[in-house]
Amino acid sequence: MRIPLRLAIGILAVLSLMIGWGVIDTSPAEALPGSIEVDIDIKPGSDPNSINCNKDNGVITVAILGSATFDVTQVDVSLVDFEGASAIHEGHETDIPIGGSGRDKKRGDGFTDLVLHFRLGDIGLSCSSTYGTLTGTLFDGTPFEGMDDVNMIGN
């Protein structure tokens, strides 16, 4: 069955209005059943986490934040996925920058964070995305998931 072009455009317009009015919830979904929710920071040290949606070259940094209940050294980096992309580089840091007006501030919590880099052209964010999701698995097979806001620019 084919839908006439005018009807399709009308449906898209109504959906767009419903999203704008808050009738349709576009907020992040809850974590996958059985997975651990973890804190991530897209573009550590940046607030807002602005990403040029028209730029395919370059790299984006995403940090998985360690805590008293989450040891990032147990993350199997080969199974980490950020919006459809695999990490191209990894590193561990104790004090990564935090966003806000004091760009030189550090988390300073003493927990090791896992810093990953992804190719912009590989991630599946669109110009209308409002958050990014990172999923992965620990060495013991436990799945985890984290989300952070993004500010897509250039659209």
Predicted structure pTM score: 0.70
What CATH number belongs to 27-153? 2.60.40
**Residue in this structure with the two tokens 């990014």, named with its chain if needed:** 132
How would you classify residue 4: left for phi > 0, otherwise alpha for psi between -120 and 50, otherwise beta? beta
The Cα–Cα gap between 70 and 66 comes to 5
Two tokens, residue 139: 């060495």
Radius of gyration from C-alpha coordinates of the chain: 18
Q: Which amino acid is at 23?
A: V
Q: Among candidates 142, 128, 154, which has minimal Cα distance to 74?
A: 142
Q: What does 45-106 look like in DSSP terms, one character per residue?
A: T-SS-EEETT--SSEEEEEEPPBTTB-GGGB-GGG-EETTB--SEEEEES--B--SS-TT-B
Q: What is the dihedral of CA 76, 31, 56, 60, to 10 degrees?
A: -60
pLDDT tens for the 155 residues of the chain, in order = 676 767 666 666 665 666 666 555 555 555 556 789 999 999 988 888 888 887 778 888 999 998 999 999 899 999 999 999 999 876 655 555 544 333 333 456 778 888 899 988 898 888 888 999 999 999 999 999 999 999 888 75
Closest C-alpha among 151, 10, 140, 2 to residue 71: 140
Residue 8: in which H helix or E strand, if any? helix 5-21
